[in-house]
Amino acid sequence: MTPILEARGLVQQYATGRSLFGKPPSMRAVDGVDLAVREGEILGIVGESGSGKSTLGRMLLGLETPFAGEVRWRGQPMPAPRTDMWRRLRAQMQLIFQDPLAALDRRMTIAAQIAEPLEIHGLMKGAEAAERVAELMARVGLRPDQADRYPHELSGGQRQRVVISRALAMRPKFLVCDEPVSALDVSIQAQVVNLLRDLQEQEGLTMVFISHDLKVVHNICNRVAVMYLGRVVEEGPSGEVFGDPRHPYTRALVSSIPKAGRGLTDRIILQGEPPNPAMRPPGCAFHPRCAIADAACAGEIPELSGHRGRLTACLKQRAIIPATAA
């Protein structure tokens, strides 16, 4: 099956300061990512804070131009941000933000905000648009009488429902959810996650789901990519990745998921400092914290490649290949 969205060699770097003379210092938030998203799947992206998940998500949507590499949507290159082509493409791909209050205009009623994409793309007007708004609100579980409310009059979960219904107004094909529930109360996180999953099934959406919550990712994602300091270190079907993690970093992550009846007894505690993209270690970025690293790991950056039927970026995995292949 051809992927609906494809990323090749994505790199993003940001200036970390200013300098009067010479080049300002910079830091790579995303450092060479290849990724394919297949139609109709939910791809999870996990990784520590600062590993570049949000940056990757924004580049996948074309909201930011990558420093290097390219994103292809249905085989076509992503148009430059803020061009007419790019604006038209927004009807097909949308972002769900982490903080719904910040994403909503506090001076507009929620009905007006849900109707906005319809107006922007000139699809519907008047009664027809009002009908569609009512339908969308019902769809995400908002009451009709909430149409004239302002964002601050709603609860966090309700606001996120508004953001979701606004994103769905144009019947997009592709959705990036960037930690869509982490700003919400734990008690309603599950509701919103279930809503997203139901919508994905009913509308046939393709979705990239960025989250810290490995359990949720395990539950709803078909595939998952694990990021460490701007690179994907492991990628595969989520059952396999969570059931049999290969990369030492993934293993540490997976061991931290509490499981019923087991506790956290065999949890792998990562040593060393948390990753800092401004001071990326040479070679494999994970080697200073890795239990199985040796001198070679500091000398070579491992590529994401197939080992024993799975994609990992670890020199130690390569070492195993001949053994199993033989």
Partner 1 sequence: MTDTTLPEGTGTSPVKAGMVRRLRTSMPLVIWCAVGWLAAMVLTAIFADLLRPHEITAMSLTQRMAPMGTPGYWLGTDDLGRDVLSRLIQSIRVSLVIAFGATIISAVFGTTLGFLAAQFRGWVENLVMALADFQAALPFMIMSLAVLAFFGTSMVLLVGLMGFYGWERYARIARGLAISASAQGYAGAVVQLGAKPSRVYLRHILPNVASTLIVSMTLTFPEIILMESGLSFLGLGVQPPQTSLGNMVGFGREYLTRAPWIMLAPSVVIVLTTLSISLLGDWLRDRLDPTIR
Partner 2 sequence: MLNFILSRMARAVMTLVMVMSFAFIVMRLSGDPATILLGPDAPQDAIDAFRARWGLDDPLWKQYLAYIAQIFTFDFGISMRDQMPALDIVLERIPATLAITLPAMILKLGIGIPAGVYAALHRESIADRGVITLSIFGFTIPSFVLALVLVLIFSVQLGWLPSGGQDSWQHAILPIVTLSVGGIGIMARFSRSAMIEVLGQPYIRTAMAKGLSWRDVVWKHALPNASVPIVTLVGFMVGALIAGAAVVESIFSWPGVGRLIVSSVANRDLAVVQCLLLVIASSMVAANLLVDIAYGLLDPRLRSKRSAH
Ligand X SMILES: Nc1ncnc2c1ncn2[C@@H]1O[C@H](COP(=O)(O)OP(=O)(O)OP(=O)(O)O)[C@@H](O)[C@H]1O
Binding span for partner 1 by CB under 8 A among 106-114, 223-231, 239-247, 279-287: 106-114
* Per-residue x/- track, 23-52, ligand X (CB under 6 A): ------x-----------------x-xxxx
Bridge-based pairing state of the strands 231-237 and 3-15: unpaired
Region 29-88 residues binding partner 1, contact defined as CB under 8 A: 61, 63, 82, 87-88
Q: Which two tokens stand for residue 98?
A: 């982490």
Q: Which two tokens stand for residue 176?
A: 């990036």
Q: Is 23 in the site for partner 1 (CB under 8 A)?
A: no
Closer Cβ to partner 1, 120 or 292, answer by number: 120
**Residue 314 interacting entry, from partner 1, Mg ion, partner 2, none, C-beta within 5 to 8 Å by type:** none
Between the CA of residue 266 and those of 234, 241, 258, what are the distances in Å? 21, 18, 10
Q: Is 121 in the site for partner 1 (CB under 8 A)?
A: yes
Between the CA of residue 222 and those of 16, 45, 219, what are the distances in Å? 36, 11, 9
Reported for 193-196, long-range contacts at CB under 8 A and 24+ positions apart, including other chains, are 193/219, 193/220, 195/140, 195/141, 195/161, 195/164, 196/96, 196/164, 196/220
Closer Cβ to ligand X, 137 or 226, answer by number: 226
Q: Is 53 in the site for ligand X (CB under 6 A)?
A: yes
Closer Cβ to partner 1, 105 or 300, answer by number: 105
Region 271-310 residues binding ligand X, contact defined as CB under 6 A: 277
Q: What sign results for the dihedral spanned by CA atoms 104, 106, 107, 110?
A: positive
Closer Cβ to partner 1, 105 or 131, answer by number: 105
Count of Cβ atoms closer than 10 Å to residue 74 Cβ: 14
Measured distance CA(233)–CA(251) in Å, rounded: 11
Q: Is 211 in the site for ligand X (CB under 6 A)?
A: no
Judged by CB under 8 A, the residue of 3, 10, 14, 18 near partner 2 is: 18
Region 165-204 residues binding partner 1, contact defined as CB under 8 A: 166
* 319 touches 312 (CB < 8 A): no
CB of 310: closest distance to ligand X in angstroms?
23
# of chain residues touching ligand X (CB under 6 A): 11
Name 69's Cβ contacts closer than 8 Å, sequence gap at least 6.
7, 8, 9, 10, 11, 32, 33
Side chain identity at residue 298, one-letter code: A
Q: Is 99 in the site for partner 1 (CB under 8 A)?
A: yes
Q: Is 296 in the site for partner 1 (CB under 8 A)?
A: no
Q: Which two tokens stand for residue 297?
A: 């790991």
Closer Cβ to partner 1, 172 or 245, answer by number: 172
CB of 8: closest distance to Mg ion in angstroms?
22
**Residue 23 interacting entry, from partner 2, Mg ion, partner 1, none, C-beta within 5 to 8 Å by type:** none
Name 184's Cβ contacts closer than 8 Å, sequence gap at least 6.
156, 157, 160, 192
**Residue 296 interacting entry, from partner 1, partner 2, Mg ion, none, C-beta within 5 to 8 Å by type:** none
CB of 19: closest distance to partner 2 in angstroms?
7
CB of 168: closest distance to partner 1 in angstroms?
12
Measured distance CA(304)–CA(313) in Å, rounded: 4
Q: Give how far the C-alpha of residue 296 lies from the chain's centroid of Cα atoms, to the nearest Å.
A: 31
Question: Given the rule CB under 5 A, which residues bind Mg ion?
Answer: 54
Question: Given the rule CB under 6 A, which residues bind ligand X?
Answer: 14, 29, 47, 49-55, 277
